[in-house]
Structure 1
C-alpha cells in the first residue's frame, strides 16, 4: 500500500502556503508500518519477504546442516542440504507439523514403522504433529529441501525409522 503513489492532498499550514504532504488513506506510511509492527511483531518496511534457497545452502562433510531462513513464534523456515549418503535422522515434532518441499536430489523419506517413501525434486512431504520423518539421500547429487515447521515451538524428539 505504501509503495503505490498515494493521492495527494493539499495541506496549507499558516507558515507555508502550498505545502503538500503525502498521505495514504489518511495515514502516513510510517504510521501504517508502525501499526503493522505492533500487530504482527514485524517491521514490514525492513523485513525481506523474498528469499533465495541458494543463499541458505550450507554443505557439510559431517551431518547435514539446518540453515535457518526465518524463525518466529508461529513457524520456522529452514533450508537443508544433504550430500549423497547423508541422513537427516528420523525424528518427530510433538506439537507441530513439518512440511518439506524438495528442491533438488532424491531421498528415502522415513515415515516410521519401517515405512519409507521416495522423494524427488518437486515433491512435498507433510509430517503432522507426532509423525516420524527423516531422510537418507540416495541420489548422486545433493538433496536440498525447504522445511516449514509450524508452530515455532513444535518441539523435537528422535524417533525410530
Structure 2
C-alpha cells in the first residue's frame, strides 16, 4: 500500500504543537482554546509563578489535564492540595472540584481536554 504524504500544515486544525500555541500573560493565568467541537474542547493553560486557576467544577463535563511543563499545587477538593508535575495526567470527572496555583519559581503549562460541551464553570471557595 502506498501512503499519500501530507504536510503538517495541511492538518493545522488537527495537529497542534503546544510550544507554538502557548500564551502567557503577566497579570493572570492564561487559557487559550486551540480547538472546539460539539463534543470536546481543548485548551492550553499557561501560568507564571504565583498565578492561579480557581477551584471549580463542571456539572456534566469531565476535565482531563496533561501537565507538560513545571509543577503546581493541585486542589482536588476544598481545603486539599497535592503537587502535580510535568508528565502527570489529572482526571476530574463531572462534579469533581479542581483548581491549582503555580507556587513554584518556574512557568507551568498544561493541556486540558473537557467534554461534553458546553462544559460550564461552577466556582468554589476553599473552606
TM range (shorter): 0.7 to 0.9
- The higher radius of gyration belongs to 1
Task: Summarize deviations over 1:76-110 as a string: whole Å, max 9, x none.
Answer: 00000000011011111111000000011100001
Which residue in the other structure is 1:126 paired with?
A: 91
Q: How many residues in Structure 1 have an aligned counterpart in Structure 2? A: 121
Runs (4+) of structure 1 exceeding 4 A deviation are: none
Q: CA deviation at 1:47?
A: 5.7
Q: CA deviation at 1:65?
A: 1.0
Q: TM-score under structure 1 normalisation? A: 0.70
Gaps of 5+ in 2: 5-9
Which residue in the other structure is 1:104 paired with?
A: 69
Task: Summarize deviations over 1:49-71 as a string: whole Å, max 9, x none.
Answer: 21011111111011111101101
Aligned counterparts of 2:43 and 2:68: Cα–Cα separation in 1 = 13
| Alignment RMSD (CA, Å) | 1.8
* Structure of higher RCO (CA pairs closer than 8 Å, 6+ residues apart): 2
Which residue in the other structure is 1:160 paired with?
A: 125
> Conserved in 1, the CA contact under 8 Å of 2:13 and 2:35?
no
> Conserved in 2, the CA contact under 8 Å of 1:92 and 1:130?
yes
Aligned counterparts of 2:16 and 2:78: Cα–Cα separation in 1 = 36
> Conserved in 2, the CA contact under 8 Å of 1:65 and 1:82?
yes
Alignment of 1:39-78 (within 5 A): 48-78=13-43
Which of 76, 87, 92 is matched with 2:57 structurally?
Answer: 92
Gaps of 5+ in 1: 6-44
Aligned counterparts of 1:68 and 1:145: Cα–Cα separation in 2 = 12
Which residue in the other structure is 1:114 paired with?
A: 79
Which residue in the other structure is 1:24 paired with?
A: none
Which residue in the other structure is 2:3 paired with?
A: 4
